[in-house]
Structure 1
Amino acid sequence: MSDNQLISNNRDNRENLTTNLADIFFRAQISKTIHYYLAERMIKTKKILGLSNIFLSALSTAGIVTLIGEYDFFIKNNPSLFKFVIFCMCFLSTFIASLILYRDDGFLANTHKIAGDLYIEIRDDIIKLYNQSLLNKEDNQHIFEKIHSIRHKLDYFGRSAPQTDQRSFNYSIQRNPKKEEIIQSIRQGDFPYVNRNQNNG
């Protein structure tokens, strides 16, 4: 094999490596952001529903005590309206409590958090592999075998991770670098998080 062919093959291998690293890193970063965003959103929803339920339960209890107690002066002008309001508050309180149990936002938030952590693990594997390729610690065949293994893990996580929605995907796309930008950063030796990763050992 001539020197020109060797140089051309090395260039092609490097470009192939760059494309594969960028693709997996991009997918892992997007997925990580999606699941963390959903986890945060579900925790907020759980807090809002919980506080609303506490507030309505307190008002309902106070209203019921008023109805059965000796506090007729509170309701003597519009007793029917007062009873209807109490009924509505009791209904809403029960509905929200049932909704909290049905949605189970705390459990779902935890599963999304775990999924996000797994995607961080994949992202860190790619960064580590990139650093190894820079130092020429392993041959190309071994590196591509590792890439295939990481991609297989990424696909598996994608199939088993909790369901996401378009809103969270759009959120993630807006807050992460494009795949082309990641490819460019690899070519320039300025791959995202590499310096921080190296400083941390």
Structure 2
Amino acid sequence: MLPNIAVILTDAQRKILWVNDDFTEITGYTLTEVIGKKPSLLQGPGSEQDAINRIRRSLEHQIAFREEITNYRKNGEAYLCKLVIHPVFDRQQHLTNFIAFEVDGDVVKDVEDLPLLQLQEKYSSSSLKGLEEVKLFFKVKLLVEQERLYLDPDLSLKEVADRLHTNTKYLSQVVNHHAGCNFQHFINSFRVKEVKEKITDKNYH
């Protein structure tokens, strides 16, 4: 099962346009609270200056990069942020956006198995189509988690696609690309987590 992966979409001036629900889970900030602000609002007294400088240089040079930095939640708690940031260009190669994928490094020790935390040409050289895929993927993740659709043994790709008003082929491609597995394995990861939680829950026995 995928951990919480915060997604931050900014404009070319690095002002936040959109964040996903995992961003709120990790940081405590809602979209309403951060829209129009810069992601640097997550930095604080313990944020490493070297990392801040590397981030600034990479953004200025419009290149994709990975970094680790101490960030701060809304409640003031520090956490290790592991992140990947991609510049996004239009067809004329003009910078239009930045998109960042971030995890809590205190929870997620290894990001090598997370496709979203890898440097991918998809975001640095394409239009906003890639961003729409990201939004769709996190809609799937949120729907499955909140409504616990994985408890239905007969859950089908078509059922989820219909709920999200998209087609099965496109949804399958999005899950494959962003989760690194097919739809069935993606759903099974939620089922496995549910079983593990029941096994370790003392009140369940």
**TM-score scaled by structure 1?**
0.26
User: Larger relative contact order (C-alpha < 8 A, sep ≥ 6)?
Assistant: 1
- Larger-Rg structure: 1
Structure with a larger share of its residues in helix:
1
Structure with a larger share of its residues in strand:
2
**TM-score scaled by structure 2?**
0.26
